[in-house]
Amino acid sequence: MMIQYIIRRVLTAIPVLFGILLVTFVLARVIPGDPCRAILGEKATQEVCDRFAEEHGLNKPLATQFLIYMQEIARGDFGRSFRYGMPVTRLLIERLPTTFELSVSALILSMIVGIPLGVISAVKHNSWVDVGTMVWANTGVSMPVFWLGLMLAYVFSLLLRDTPFWLPPSGRVTAGLAAPAFYVVWGWHVPEEGLWLALLQFLSRLHIFNGVVTGNWKLVGDALKHLILPAVALGTIPMALIARMTRSSMLEVLGQDYIRTARAKGLSKIKVVLKHAFRNSLLPLVTVIGLSLGTLLGGAVLTETIFGLSGVGRTLYEAITARDYGIVQAFTVVIAVFFVALNLIVDISYAYLDPRVRLD
Amino acid sequence: MTKKESKAAKLDAEGISLKSVSLWQITWRRLFRRKSAIIGMVILGILVLIALTAQWIAPYDPFQVLIGIEPVKQRQAPCIHLLGCPEDQPEHIMGIDGNVRDQFSRLLYGTRLSLVIGLSTVSFAIVIGTVLGALSGYFGGWVDTVIMRVMDVLLAFPSLLLAIAIVTVLGPGLVNALLAIGIVSIPSYARVVRSSVITVREMDFVSATRAMGGNSYEILFKRILPNALTPLIVQGTLGIATAILDAAALSFLGLGAQPPTPEWGSMLGSERNQVFTAPHLVFYPGLAIMLTVLSFNLLGDGLRDALDPRLAHTSG
């Protein structure tokens, strides 16, 4: 039953994936402006531009271009960036860790604060904790990410500059701080190129992970310090959403008969709340957390812009304005595929947690 | 007092009325029992009032550059006489912006734009989303498959990123930004309408209309859609909040409203590098966005609770 459901769900994702490829391809082509002149300058002659089009296959019919594009992606080749003059995959490996670290820490932060707050305010319904949480949660979801980020930077980087609470306003680590990759530290023999190297490079650019495994605590501390403000800015909306959702689904569960029965049986309140109620209120929570990741990726564009981080969001935004097809296509596809995969995981875990879903 | 009247009075005391009331009356009453919804409506009421009277209550013209007119400096901090700012200086309660204009006046005019942005994008998305969702839910089959797969593809992109891409295609500017945000939010309305239509489609009163010879148009628009209205209203109110936030984000990135338009996101965006030297230029527009979004969020939540029949006789 479960396996059938998973197969059915994966199959419905295929046309969506094809649609994503088509949309990104079309979007990248219809962005007005000539990539040749955007890259080589306004003064590029027709001859130069013809050669440029030839080199990048831009003179072929659109349908052919799309076929070539699909074939290349199937081979894991995302083409080259016009602007940076390097394979897009390399750029992705370079930029993805920043966004990954940022969104994961924002999500973790929003969960470790949001879930307990939601549980407490449901248990202490209508108390000051509850009212406070709801006021805060409503304000939280209404805040523009970019405003919150700038205000945090103002408070923590300027007002508190001579106190221990000072936090850096931009960058991932202090400039000049040594961050040797773990595979270099351990003296691993790595190939010149290929998937294995890409994976190692990706992991080693996750500063916190790299710092922890190599015991470079200075790096970990520094990276964490740089991460706090952007993570708080980015995590506030999901945090508020999670707190609200936990509260309302806990309230619904707490009002049900079996909870009263459990209490009547003589189980302690805390046991009932955590074992009987919380587990059953997890369902809607999974959905909210999954959907929050989408908001996180969108918010990453703004957060990365404000805190001077060259992550996926900011790179994509810059590529769109500079008409760098290669980056636009690859980055959008990666983000969208990631998003689809995430929704898939959410749906499957939903079916796992609630057997009724599978029967639909 | 007759027996009937006394019974009515007793029921009335228990909060149950014998008089027939429409769904809207019930909703309205329940809405007024919620503190958060009232706060939302009050904030929204004030914002609407500001938007309508901006030209009378704003102390300055939002586009007027004050160089040579008043002794003020570029990005001067707020000057409020009540808080000890010298009387001989002109009063600017939210300071002066980077182009030496009165920020308070610009902020007041910005209210208009913000409300118009929220309402217009959501109306656009609701109209298109409703049509698509209704067709999809009513006809089912391949119509449903095609429409919903397209919606799935739209939903597969983080909405802000898709909006950025669409604006880049259409060219930066407020109208295009609104169009982009409208397009991006179509799927959520289409989904809401589709699921309500599917639920209502098989109900007896719809079959009755069909048996009496009603055509598809009549069934869909007169019987089914009115019943899909409640979730749409809730979704729409909350959607206005999101639309205002997204529009502000696009303007912040320079893709939406262009200077010198007094739009909050663009005001904030053009001064973002001055946050350390002139924080008032970032603080106030952001606060205004937050309050507006908050009012729609509170109202939307209140409406959802008030329209939910499961919560019929509760208050809170």
Helix and strand numbers (H, E) in chain B are: 12, 0
Helix axes A312-322, B159-170, angle to 10 degrees: 10
Chain B interface includes A298 (CB < 8 A):
yes
Residue A180 CA to its chain's centroid (Å): 25
Q: Which residue of B has its CA nearest to A322?
A: B168
Q: Which residue of A has its CA nearest to B40?
A: A138
| B276 neighbourhood in chain A, CB within 8 Å | 153-154, 157-158
User: Pick from B153, B169, B268: which is nearest to A31 by CB?
Assistant: B169
Q: Exposed (0-12), middle (13-18) or buried (19+): which is A72, by Cβ within 10 Å? A: middle
Residues in chain B: 316
Looking at residue B209, its pLDDT comes to 82
Contact: A313, B161; criterion CB under 8 Å = yes
Task: Name the CA dihedral angle for A44, A50, A54, A55, rounded to a multiple of 10 degrees.
Answer: -20
Q: Which residue of B has its CA nearest to A315?
A: B161
Task: Name the CA dihedral angle for A86, A88, A94, A95, rounded to a multiple of 10 degrees.
Answer: 130
Looking at residue B120, its pLDDT comes to 95
Chain B interface includes A316 (CB < 8 A):
yes
| A128 neighbourhood in chain B, CB within 8 Å | none
Report the C-alpha gap between A346 and B221 in whole angstroms: 35
User: Pick from A32, A144, A336: which is nearest to B157 by CB?
Assistant: A336
Contact: A32, B282; criterion CB under 8 Å = no
Contact: B164, A317; criterion CB under 8 Å = yes
Could you tell me the maximum CA-CA distance found in chain B, to the nearest angstrom?
80
Condensed to tens digits (0 to 9), the pLDDT of residues A198-211 reads 888 888 889 899 98
Contact: B156, A339; criterion CB under 8 Å = yes
User: Pick from A30, A306, A332: which is nearest to B169 by CB?
Assistant: A30
Domain with CATH 1.10.3720.10 in chain A: 88-178+227-353
User: Pick from B161, B245, B297: which is nearest to A144 by CB?
Assistant: B245
Looking at residue B312, its pLDDT comes to 47
Residue A278 exposure: Cα atoms within 13 Å on the Cβ side:
15
Helix axes A312-322, A282-306, angle to 10 degrees: 60
Instruction: Report the CATH architecture of A88-178+227-353.
Output: Orthogonal Bundle (1.10)
Condensed to tens digits (0 to 9), the pLDDT of residues A79-106 reads 778 788 888 888 888 898 999 899 989 9
For every one of its 360 residues, what pLDDT tens digit does chain A have, with 9 covering 90 and above?
678 888 888 888 888 888 888 888 887 777 666 667 766 776 777 777 777 777 777 777 888 888 888 888 777 777 778 788 888 888 888 898 999 899 989 999 999 999 999 999 988 888 898 889 988 999 999 999 999 999 999 999 999 988 888 998 888 888 888 788 888 888 888 887 777 888 888 888 898 999 898 888 889 999 999 999 999 999 998 999 899 889 888 888 888 888 888 888 888 888 888 878 887 777 778 878 877 777 787 788 899 989 989 888 888 888 877 777 778 888 888 888 888 888 888 778 777 777 766 655
ipTM over 0.90: no
Token digits of residue A193? 């190129």
Q: Does domain B108-314 have CATH number 3.30.200.20?
A: no
Contact: A146, B297; criterion CB under 8 Å = no
Residue A347 exposure: Cα atoms within 13 Å on the Cβ side:
19
Report the C-alpha gap between B258 and A345 in whole angstroms: 41
Beta carbons of A251 and A196 less than 8 angstroms apart = no
DSSP bridge partners of B92: B79
pTM above 0.80, yes or no: yes
| A138 neighbourhood in chain B, CB within 8 Å | 36, 294, 297-298, 301
Looking at residue B316, its pLDDT comes to 37
Mutate which of B160, B251, B266, B267 to test chain A, going by most A C-beta atoms within 10 A? Answer: B160
Name A358's Cβ contacts closer than 8 Å, sequence gap at least 6.
Answer: A1, A2, A4, A5, A351
